[in-house]
A = this chain, B = another copy of it.
Amino acid sequence: MPIRTIVWGENVHEQSNATVAGLYPDGMHGCIAAALNTGAGISAETATLQEPDHGLPEVRLAATDVLIWWGHAAHGDVADRVVERVAGHVWAGMGLILLHSAHFSKIFKRLMGTPCTLSWREAGERERLWVTSPNHPISAGLPDHFELENEEMYGEPFGVPEPLETIFISWFQGGEVFRSGLTWRRGAGNVFYFRPGHETYPTYHDANVQKVLRNAVRWAHNPAERLRDVSQAPNRPTGAAPEPITERGPKLHKPGEEGFR
């Protein structure tokens, strides 16, 4: 079965900005999904902010292996209940890939536990991404570096927890650097942040960027069955202890009582 992937786009500037609409007539999400669908073993669809439940109802997420997220102007319009729903699926095993300005998305901040800040400049300058982990599944098949002639600058410090691994670091023409590809695990879910993708430039048409995205989908995919009850703290009663023990001492909880939360 192919890796069932949803590319989520907020789909705002595609509708309101002529430059963006010209670059991405099917939306950035549409462009990315098309690029993914050229990859063996990946089946990608799209979802957008404007759909009911932002296109991410429970039943659809339950049938999704990897979710890609692009947002910028409308982070605040994403419903908190959908954010919690997505977080729950990540903890249970769904892969999540955050693109560019999604550093400030609710779901990314929710999973990182930090402000996810950075500095930025919109000057169409040159970005050069260096591979710091050669032949990591996400960098497989890439040259040791590749360039994007026009990109928005993001500069360090990037306000995130130390990653599991650093895959890319960007050099910017104006003098800054940025950790452009970082991985984390949250529960059974693999999380990848990838920096490029300002909406006024043709970044998602770039062949190397598209290869990174296909690699990342394959890396993020956890083929195990989704975990259940990821937010439960089960009581294991004395009689069910792996080793026989006898209860001792004073107790706070009555038999069968649930724990506090």
Contact = CB atoms under 8 A, between A and B. Distances in A.
Interface string A99-121: 00100100000111111011111
A241 interface: yes
Nearest to A147: B242
A200 interface: yes
Interface in A222-261: 222-225, 227, 230-238, 241-243, 245-253, 259-261
Copies in the complex: 4
A81 to B, nearest CB: 16
A95 to B, nearest CB: 12
B144 A157 contact: yes
B158 A161 contact: no
Interface residues of A, number: 103
Contacts of A230: 115, 117, 159
B187 A233 contact: no
Interface stretch (A40-48, A58-66, A176-184, A204-212): A176-184
Given A115-B187, A153-B241, A173-B243, 13 more contacts: A118-B233, A120-B259, A121-B235, A122-B251, A131-B157, A133-B188, A136-B185, A144-B157, A161-B186, A166-B179, A175-B243, A176-B241, A176-B242
